[in-house]
Structure 1
């Protein structure tokens, strides 16, 4: 894992990959700003309308008269909106990077591994796998919604559900770009190795930091590409790689 991290970091800070990183960062940043503006405006207007229309002397009006309740309500609203805005932007960045992933994988392969790829995974097979992931995600999301009204547990549960989607999409993105059809089937015939789960968990935590997850999506793909070559295909990196032209 140390070697993989070192190689990925070295590759990420090359001119070509830094340019790649600007694409999801710039596009997702604009989405981030737009979502933040509308999400926070919607929440504040919703709460204002909700309590403004409460009848005088009602439980809602009485509850809203306490400053501590107004503070807790505002805090929960900001936390929920921030969570949705940050991760909506991150998943949009994953979508943008997915168009760059085949080029990233080919570049890493040509530079370090020279692995010949035959019988590539078809677009429709990868698409079907993605649809299965989204169906499972929606089922988990539905279960999480049942716990929405439970304080603190709600955010924790949603955090886990979105990690499932984050992990699955990242792994599928790289696996479908660098494995052949048989290797792809063999990989998905069993659970992802622990190294992959730990890696995507760390990436997910990093992505919780606004903008960090947008800029580092290319690094995540580079890291997972090296990890696939070394841990799944059992190849060793040529540490005297072919120089970039």
Structure 2
């Protein structure tokens, strides 16, 4: 709770609110464009599927008002599902460019920790490649369960959580730790506190628009958590 309150105070400061506006504004534009095109593509697909034979039973069935309503609602929900997650990951991508400045600001304001040997870009890119290879492998395995009702949705949800969790930790750890500390942290896997935090963030990010504004808060919180739980530093009074 102490880290949570400290992170909220930082987020609501004028400097960090400015950091939050950039991913929010850009992601809103992406959100709107993706929603429009995803909905149009899905609706066109259903129209084509049911209109193959105009005199067929499928064409008659599709002409019913209730079916039209269900198809439009389903297209809207599927488009929204894809768009929300695409926008959230795009917001995190934008914030990744701001993370060095956010971590530096948090460190200067609260901890004053000096990093003597910084993490190299090559090391970060190597770990990033490993994350994406594992993610693709998990995604391909999850396709085996694609046609199982309900299970397929949850499987994909957790596969994307893996990517969300790993990208956030990689982003923060590479900026907050020295090279040796980074390697130790990555080799031992993240502690439960980090997994629980990113899971909460992932659930919050699933709510439309919240996930577009809060990536900066996620970085702030994980930065405090890294300094206090991994480096055992205390914030300045």
Q: TM-score band (shorter)?
A: over 0.9
Q: Which runs of 5+ in 2 are unaligned?
A: none
Does 2:16 match 1:17? yes
Deviations 1:67-113 (A, max 9, x none): 66655554443332211100111111111101110111111111111
SS at match of 2:114: coil
137-146 vs 16-25, which deviates more? 137-146
RMSD of equivalent CA atoms: 1.7
Does 2:209 match 1:223? no
Once the two structures are TM-superposed, the CA of residue 138 in structure 1 deviates from its matched residue by 0.9
Match of 2:199 among 187, 198, 201: 201
Does 2:70 match 1:43? no
Describe the shift of the 1:43–1:145 C-alpha distance in structure 2 as closer, same or farther (beyond 3 A).
same
Does 2:105 match 1:104? no
Describe the shift of the 1:98–1:117 C-alpha distance in structure 2 as closer, same or farther (beyond 3 A).
same
Once the two structures are TM-superposed, the CA of residue 178 in structure 1 deviates from its matched residue by 1.0
Measure the CA separation in 2 of the matches of 1:63 and 1:124: 57
Does 2:118 match 1:113? no
Describe the shift of the 1:54–1:158 C-alpha distance in structure 2 as closer, same or farther (beyond 3 A).
farther
Measure the CA separation in 1 of the matches of 2:70 and 2:205: 25
Measure the CA separation in 2 of the matches of 1:197 and 1:137: 17
Measure the CA separation in 1 of the matches of 2:154 and 2:62: 26
TM-score, normalised to structure 1, is: 0.91
Measure the CA separation in 2 of the matches of 1:236 and 1:79: 45
Measure the CA separation in 1 of the matches of 2:37 and 2:46: 14
Measure the CA separation in 2 of the matches of 1:148 and 1:70: 25
Describe the shift of the 1:144–1:61 C-alpha distance in structure 2 as closer, same or farther (beyond 3 A).
farther
SS at match of 2:145: coil
96-105 vs 48-57, which deviates more? 48-57
The corresponding residue for 1:243 is none
SS at match of 2:211: helix
The corresponding residue for 1:52 is 51
Deviations 1:173-209 (A, max 9, x none): 0000111110011001112111111111111111111
Describe the shift of the 1:156–1:63 C-alpha distance in structure 2 as closer, same or farther (beyond 3 A).
farther
Does 2:32 match 1:33? yes
The corresponding residue for 1:142 is 140
Match of 1:126 among 124, 127, 130: 124
Q: How many residue pairs were aligned?
A: 237
Measure the CA separation in 1 of the matches of 2:100 and 2:53: 55
Deviations 1:40-84 (A, max 9, x none): 0000011001111146446x4576467666555544433322111
